[in-house]
Structure 1
């Protein structure tokens, strides 16, 4: 499996500009013929090439706090209690450093349904192509595998970015896709 050379706490990617039918057809054909290793490489390159642009545009990683809520499907970045960026997200899955496993969101009963609707597309694609790591709910993995699964998911679903959140003990890391990004007015309104 192609590995991401440098693992970042935050990897962002801008979605592709709207494609014409000809381009979309080529992408579908590509996805139907690439090996898993090629898909991983293309996906990781997609994130790597877009990261600088998203960091500049949304300043993710520079805010003092982040919070997420599965019920609302929102990931919120803030400074001094002021919301800066609100993101509609989709859960991809998680890596446990305790069990050294990857668990897809679609196979995790503790993840709310509203934040794992689209990720089943990746499983369907994995079944179609016979890519075991995309169709098996849980398997032996490390943090780099988590980034690979997030990158592949971002590429296939045309996500605007990816964020990795740690648990309180830094033994479980969840990966989230950015579906919609809203920049909030940076200054509170005066009355």
Structure 2
């Protein structure tokens, strides 16, 4: 059970994320680079063209979706991720505990539209942590990874 205000709050968070991601698309051409790579040791997401890094972002991991499992798994519930990269997801969990928001505190959630669920939950984390945007890796073998963008800059 979620508080009455939560549905509207999450919808606002989603609209805020759409605006933030539009700005990142306009300013840094996110979504148009031919390649992306993430470096979990450095906590970075790198966008490149013809082998040259063009844009770099500091990241946190929100969570992932799995078509095979049919669910969303929070980053804080996945022991494969480095602890330093799940801090924002943990803050979302704490927010959920404080306000009794079930979907922010359950390890995993099932839904028929995992892409929509992933973006909605990622938008909640982005709002709670005041991040500058989010990125979802193209689903590979039915798995989508949702990343929180803490900062984005042109590579030097």
The answer, yes or no, to whether TM exceeds 0.5 is yes
Task: Structure 2: state its 5+ residue gaps.
Answer: none
Q: Pick the aligned partner of 1:129 from 78, 82, 99.
A: 99
Please list, as runs of the form range in 1=range in 2, the aligned pairs for 1:57-136 lying within 5 A after superposition.
Answer: 57-136=27-106
Query: Which residue is 1:158 aligned to?
Result: 130
- C-alpha distance in 2 between matches for 1:167 and 1:60: 17
Give the paired residue count. Answer: 152
Q: TM-score, normalised by structure 1?
A: 0.75
Residue 120 of structure 2 aligns with which residue? Answer: 148
Distance between the aligned counterparts of 2:138 and 2:19, measured in 1?
24
Mapped pair 1:40 → 2:2: no
Give the Cα–Cα distance (whole angstroms) in 2 for the partners of residues 168 and 96 of structure 1: 10
Q: CA separation in 2, counterparts of 1:65 and 1:117?
A: 26
How far did 1:167 drift? 4.8
Name the CA distance, whole Å, in 1 between partners of 2:129 and 2:147: 12
Displacement, 1:114? Answer: 1.9
Tell me which stretches of 4 or more aligned residues in structure 1 moved more than 6 Å: none
- Shift in Å, 1:139: 1.9
Contact 1:105 1:119 in 2 (8 A): yes
Distance 2:27 2:151 in 1: 14
1:144-191 residue CA offsets vs partner (Å, 9 max, x unmatched)? 11110011111111111100013532x110100111212114xxxxxx
Q: Aligned residue for 2:154?
A: 183
Secondary structure in 2 matching 1:119: helix
**Whose Rg is larger?**
1
SS at match of 2:8: helix
Please give the root-mean-square deviation of Cα atoms over the aligned residues, in Å: 1.5
Q: Secondary structure at the match of 2:88?
A: coil
Q: Classify the secondary structure of the residue corresponding to 2:33.
A: coil
Q: 1:118 to 1:49 in 2, by over 3 A?
A: closer
CA distance in structure 1 between the partners assigned to 2:115 and 2:20 by the alignment: 21
Q: Secondary structure at the match of 1:111?
A: coil
